[in-house]
């Protein structure tokens, strides 16, 4: 039982770091502010959520895992809010959009 839970926790943590790394790659590679925003905010939310839930699965059922789930819920609410505020700042200031054939 505990071995299966450890394997499940490791799979969740691996999925989390996959999403975190892909978010960073998208943040470097995409040509436009809005596309970078798209990569960074979603991959960051999902990646840290999966990683924290995986660590809570490994921890079992005690105070530390409850705090880990509290951090996960907090990130689940605040990260899209911060992304919305940043995108609103960019949209208000009319940041230029990417058009086809233009590099960087």
- CA pair distance 10, 21, nearest whole angstrom: 16
Cα gap 87→93, rounded to integer Å: 10
For position 6 contacting another protein by CB under 8 A, the verdict is: yes
Does 53 engage in binding with another protein (CB under 8 A)? no
To the nearest 10°, report the CA torsion of 89, 91, 94, 97: 120
| Shortest CB 71 distance to another protein, Å | 5
Cβ atoms of 79 and 41 closer than 8 Å: yes
Q: Can you list the positions of beta strands (E) in 1-104?
A: none
Is 97 among the residues that bind another protein (CB under 8 A)?
Answer: no
Under the binding rule (CB under 8 A), the answer on residue 15 touching another protein is: no
For residue 52, state whether it binds another protein (rule: CB under 8 A): yes
What letter does residue 62 receive in the DSSP assignment? S
Binding residues for another protein, per CB under 8 A? 6, 9-10, 13-14, 16-17, 20-21, 23-25, 27-28, 33, 36-37, 40-41, 44-45, 47-48, 51-52, 55, 58-59, 63-64, 67-68, 70-71, 74-75, 78-79, 81-83, 85-86, 88-90, 92-93, 95
């Amino acid at each position: 039982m505990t071995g299966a839970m450890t394997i499940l926790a490791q799979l969740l943590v691996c999925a989390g770091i996959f999403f975190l790394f892909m978010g960073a790659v998208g943040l470097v590679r995409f040509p436009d502010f809005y596309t970078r925003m798209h990569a960074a905010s979603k991959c960051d939310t999902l990646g840290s959520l999966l990683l924290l839930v995986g660590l809570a699965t490994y921890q079992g059922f005690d105070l530390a895992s409850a705090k880990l789930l509290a951090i996960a819920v907090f990130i689940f609410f605040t990260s899209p809010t911060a992304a919305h505020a940043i995108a609103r700042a960019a949209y208000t200031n009319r940041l230029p959009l990417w058009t086809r054939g233009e590099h960087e």
